[in-house]
Amino acid sequence: MAQRTEPARGMRDFLPEDIRRREYVIGIVKRVYERYGFEPLETPAVENIETLLGKYGEEGNQLIFKILMRGEHEASGKADLALRYDLTVPLARVVAQYQSKLPRLFNRYQIQPVWRADRPARGRFREFYQCDVDSLGSTSPVVEAGLCAAVSDALTQLGFSDFVIRINHRELLTSILSRSGIGAHQHGDALIALDKLDKIGPEGVDNDLANRGIEEQARNALLQVFISRASMNHVAAFVKGDTPGEAAVANLQAIAELTAQTSAAGKIAFDASLARGLSYYTGAIMEINVADLAGSLGGGGRYDNLVGMFLGQNVPACGFSLGLERILVVMGERNMFPLTLMTTPADVMIATFDAAGASAAMRFAATLRGAGLRVLVYPDPEKIGKQIKYADSRGIPFVALLGENEIESSTVTVKHLAAQTQETWHQSDAAAKILEGLKQRG
Amino acid sequence: MAQRTEPARGMRDFLPEDIRRREYVIGIVKRVYERYGFEPLETPAVENIETLLGKYGEEGNQLIFKILMRGEHEASGKADLALRYDLTVPLARVVAQYQSKLPRLFNRYQIQPVWRADRPARGRFREFYQCDVDSLGSTSPVVEAGLCAAVSDALTQLGFSDFVIRINHRELLTSILSRSGIGAHQHGDALIALDKLDKIGPEGVDNDLANRGIEEQARNALLQVFISRASMNHVAAFVKGDTPGEAAVANLQAIAELTAQTSAAGKIAFDASLARGLSYYTGAIMEINVADLAGSLGGGGRYDNLVGMFLGQNVPACGFSLGLERILVVMGERNMFPLTLMTTPADVMIATFDAAGASAAMRFAATLRGAGLRVLVYPDPEKIGKQIKYADSRGIPFVALLGENEIESSTVTVKHLAAQTQETWHQSDAAAKILEGLKQRG
């Protein structure tokens, strides 16, 4: 009896064509990150469960995949391990664990999958890749500007030109909330409501705030700042006199000025309503959007206290995460992948005439591979017509025929399928001829 | 209160230096596999638990990491998902699921981590990468020879020259067991015992066989074949007249003949005692060893019935798996990594004089990055001596100084740390000069 064959709910198999697109994007992102001095890091898929619990808010906690304890405790149903939920908390753990081995300024990138037990939906998966880039060790706005430049450069190299990096500041939000007359104990609630502005609109947020017990006057003051998409000057006036609020404005202005010198010039836009869901942010927060995608392509911010939860002493930190799956969705819809992305399994297929000829085929394949060609040896001595048809169906441009005559004279007959031509060459010339033929195809 | 910071038991964090070594090996293995016409595939880390249970034998079942069911059932302690245990069973599932989309001859490689709840030990981890290469759709010995050539080529390109690919055949083992007088119902037990020959020696195997109820005469006949490391001719004589045994010998001879034409020439050695633990093998089985490693660098074999467990109809299949972690261990011990493996985070660091100079630093960094250089901007305007010391400690070869004078005259002063020289160039010349300097360093 056959078993179920689909992947687990919300998970995906990636066939060769998918992988080539994924590797194309990952390759560009890595190369750009490395140009900005970021170094690669990888952490295990599985973490101790305490490492993850309590870092992502209550909703996050519930979306963590938990792994059963082993051995005699398995029957108890207790979980002691969990699947990586993001790349930031493991980074904080790593910085605490290897502090003496890591440089004072640690710039790392990390491109790995994370798992969330979200309800699967169009474009939302339970296993998805994040491309994270983080700088640890400095509070300078040069860090934020460098991160914005790096992700902007990565997106530009991928062919995006129309994205916007919205930027805001957690301390500025706090200041606006206070000035609106919302007590500190309600700030968390208010931010959760605000974070939904794009999804549920101003009325929805107003209702949500009311349900959370925030009074009408405060709601009105707050929503006025956010709905009007107030300018930086407007907001600066609103928080004037509140020291942390003024410092946040100055920080945002410094970041904007530095960013203007980079590849992110013209891409940055202040948005007082940007809240970002995660609770660990402490300073500037950023999010990247394009018009034809409901969610964001990526986001990030400063989180100066997270490492302290592991280390016992704070380390300044700021990071950005690009969502690989969403980038791939938009690039697919917009036809942004280069046509040259390799789509054939081989450059040349060697047909097999009979069991005796297979040895000659293997030997000739080794020669062609030595010259850098991708070579498939057809394994079964089926009718040559059938073999050629197979090569054609796979988009393999050249088929090499090694019959008795060819073997005897150390020659090979090579068919160029698209051109419908065939030529007989000395075997030692074939690699160069085929390479030349491939170059002409472009 | 600070939290635990070490990775979960048996799991590892990979710092930048580790990643560079891993990516170096993976890059070579991929490139070689692609030259053999193999295409990339990836499957999810998480599988439905039924997909994995019952495929790896009883011991394997117990080593599968199980994931708690979610929602209201979480309290029940029931697991409905599990972590990938190898790359072969998911491949069989994929072939059954996408049969109509996949080519008739499907050659795929897959390089991903797997998870096993083994007791951690030196060189044995609970998360480790496998580099698998499999051919589906043909029973021809060209397949086995191609696989041996591909892994042999990969190891050779990595710098190995002293490995041996031991080869045997499951049907030949069956034939030998029958000829030794062991009943078919005891073959599984006997193979499990035999698989330990290298670890526990002939006496250990003899005891194990005795404990499993196999009689002395049969044990003696069997061990004589295995301990003597009998030649192919000797074994062929032993099974003469048993049709499946004779067919297995002929198959092994065909594989050996074809392999002799490839990069695996001289690397293949028949070993009648090779058993391989996994239960799904049906034909030729292979294992790669080097003298200075107790375990194997990789192994594989033909498994013509596994896809049938998912599809309801069999698809011929054969594969090879290289163990990334063991390859890395041996390469590390033997100093096989090239010295040129990039070990610095950047080619040039731009020092920061003051907050005002940071803008100029960001702009100059963008220019250098545009020319392909890896550039770090030091984020804080600390003492220049401290900044230079930092660059030196990170192995960054060049430091660019942009003081007031330089900014005004569009020049830059560049220190070459190793040479202890410094020169002032026009900013627009700097990228070319630094690239030249890097080339001279080699």
**Is B173 a domain residue?**
no
Q: Are B296 and B288 in contact (CB under 8 A)?
A: yes
> In chain A, what residues touch B316 (CB-CB under 8 Å)?
none
| Alpha-carbon distance A302 to nearest alpha carbon in chain B (angstroms) | 15
By C-alpha distance, the chain A residue nearest B67 is A67
| Domain's final residue, options B306, B333, B360 | B333
> In chain A, what residues touch B310 (CB-CB under 8 Å)?
2-3, 5
Helices within A159-280 (DSSP H only):
170-179, 187-194, 197-211, 216-227, 232-239, 243-259
Contact A65 B44 (CB under 8 A): no
What is the distance between the alpha carbons of residues B301 and B144, in angstroms, rounded to a whole number?
A: 8
| Alpha-carbon distance A109 to nearest alpha carbon in chain B (angstroms) | 9
Contact B4 A51 (CB under 8 A): yes
Are A378 and A297 members of one domain? no
**Global ipTM:** 0.93
DSSP A126-188: SEEEEEEEEEES---HHHHHHHHHHHHHHHHHHT--S-EEEEEEHHHHHHHHHHTT--GGGHH
Say which residue the tokens 């970041």 belong to.
Answer: A255
Are B359 and B408 members of one domain? yes
Dump pLDDT digits (tens) for B310-355: 999 999 999 999 999 999 999 999 999 998 787 799 999 999 998 8
What is the distance between the alpha carbons of residues A364 and A379, in angstroms, rounded to a whole number?
A: 14
Cβ-nearest to B380 among A39, A51, A140 = A140
Residue B253 has pLDDT above 80, yes or no: yes
Are B276 and B410 members of one domain? no
| Alpha-carbon distance A65 to nearest alpha carbon in chain B (angstroms) | 7
Write down the pLDDT at residue A442.
Answer: 55
Cβ-nearest to A261 among B93, B366, B375 = B366
Q: Are A382 and B140 in contact (CB under 8 A)?
A: no
What are the phi and psi torsion angles at A179 (to 5°)? -60, -30
Are B147 and B294 members of one domain? yes
Residue A1 has pLDDT above 70, yes or no: no
By C-alpha distance, the chain B residue nearest A117 is B70
By C-alpha distance, the chain A residue nearest B395 is A103
What is the distance between the alpha carbons of residues B44 and A127, in angstroms, rounded to a whole number?
A: 7
Name which of A199, A91, A154, A162 is nearest A324 in CA terms.
A154
Can you state the angle between helices B197-211 and B187-194, rounded to 10 degrees? 150
Are A112 and A180 members of one domain? yes
**B398 pairs with which residues across the strands?**
B348, B416
CB count within 10 Å of CB B255 equals: 26
Are B410 and B322 members of one domain? no
Check which CATH number belongs to the domain holding B392 and give it. 3.40.50.800
Lowest mean pLDDT across A4-13, B74-83, B388-397, B399-408: B74-83
> In chain B, what residues touch A3 (CB-CB under 8 Å)?
50-51, 93, 309-310
Domains contained in chain A, number: 2
**Is B197 a domain residue?**
no
By C-alpha distance, the chain A residue nearest B258 is A359
By C-alpha distance, the chain B residue nearest A16 is B40
Write down the pLDDT at residue A330.
Answer: 95
Both structure tokens of A314: 């704070």
| Domain's final residue, options B281, B301, B333 | B333
**Is B319 a domain residue?**
yes
Check which CATH number belongs to the domain holding A133 and give it. 3.30.930.10
* Contacts within 8 Å (CB) and 24+ apart, A380-387: A380/A352, A380/B138, A380/B140, A380/B142, A381/A352, A381/A353, A381/A354, A381/A355, A381/A357, A382/A352, A384/A351, A384/A353, A387/A349, A387/A351, A387/A352
Both structure tokens of B8: 């979960």
**Is A242 a domain residue?**
yes
| Alpha-carbon distance B55 to nearest alpha carbon in chain A (angstroms) | 12
| Alpha-carbon distance B228 to nearest alpha carbon in chain A (angstroms) | 31
Are B68 and B143 members of one domain? yes
| Alpha-carbon distance A211 to nearest alpha carbon in chain B (angstroms) | 26
Contact B345 A103 (CB under 8 A): yes
B86-106: burial string, b at 16+ Cβ within 10 Å, e else: bbbbbbbbbbbbebeebeebb
Q: In degrees to the nearest 10, what's the CA dihedral of A34, A38, A39, A44?
A: -110
**Is B53 a domain residue?**
yes
pTM flag (> 0.95): no
Looking at chain A, the whole-number percentage of residues with pLDDT higher than 90 is 79
Are B256 and B368 members of one domain? no
Average pLDDT over every residue of B47-59: 90
By C-alpha distance, the chain A residue nearest B114 is A45
Dump pLDDT digits (tens) for B77-132: 789 999 999 999 999 999 999 999 999 999 999 999 999 999 988 778 999 999 99
Band of residue A376 on the pLDDT scale cut at 50, 70, 90: very high
**Is B354 a domain residue?**
yes
**Is A114 a domain residue?**
yes
| Alpha-carbon distance B23 to nearest alpha carbon in chain A (angstroms) | 10
What is the distance between the alpha carbons of residues A94 and A143, in angstroms, rounded to a whole number?
A: 20
Contact B41 A13 (CB under 8 A): yes
Enclosing domain of residue A131: 16-333
Contact A5 B358 (CB under 8 A): no
Residue A398, classed as helix, strand or coil, is strand
Write down the pLDDT at residue B293.
Answer: 87
**Is A131 a domain residue?**
yes
What is the distance between the alpha carbons of residues B186 and B194, in angstroms, rounded to a whole number?
A: 12
Write down the pLDDT at residue B59.
Answer: 81
> In chain A, what residues touch B371 (CB-CB under 8 Å)?
none
Are A175 and A275 members of one domain? yes
Cβ-nearest to A358 among B5, B142, B309 = B142
- Averaged pLDDT of chain A: 93
Are B33 and B157 members of one domain? yes
Query: How far apart, in Å, do the first and last CA atoms of chain A sit?
Result: 48
Contact A362 B258 (CB under 8 A): yes
Contact A138 B362 (CB under 8 A): no
By C-alpha distance, the chain A residue nearest B118 is A70
Contact B1 A126 (CB under 8 A): no
Cβ-nearest to B117 among A8, A19, A70 = A70
Contact A258 B68 (CB under 8 A): no
Average pLDDT over every residue of A39-63: 92
Left, alpha or beta for B51 (phi > 0: left; psi -120 to 50: alpha)? Answer: alpha
Contact A44 B360 (CB under 8 A): no
Write down the pLDDT at residue A161.
Answer: 95
Band of residue B73 on the pLDDT scale cut at 50, 70, 90: low
* Strand pairing report for A268-270 and A164-169: parallel
**DSSP class of B243:** H
Are B295 and B399 members of one domain? no
By C-alpha distance, the chain A residue nearest B34 is A374
Contact A44 B83 (CB under 8 A): no
Contact B70 A258 (CB under 8 A): no
Contact A38 B359 (CB under 8 A): no
Average pLDDT over every residue of A101-128: 93
Average pLDDT over every residue of A380-389: 96
Contact B50 A20 (CB under 8 A): no
Are A317 and A426 members of one domain? no
Residue A421 has pLDDT above 60, yes or no: yes
Angle at CA of residue A327, ends A326 and A330, nearest 5°: 85
Band of residue A2 on the pLDDT scale cut at 50, 70, 90: low
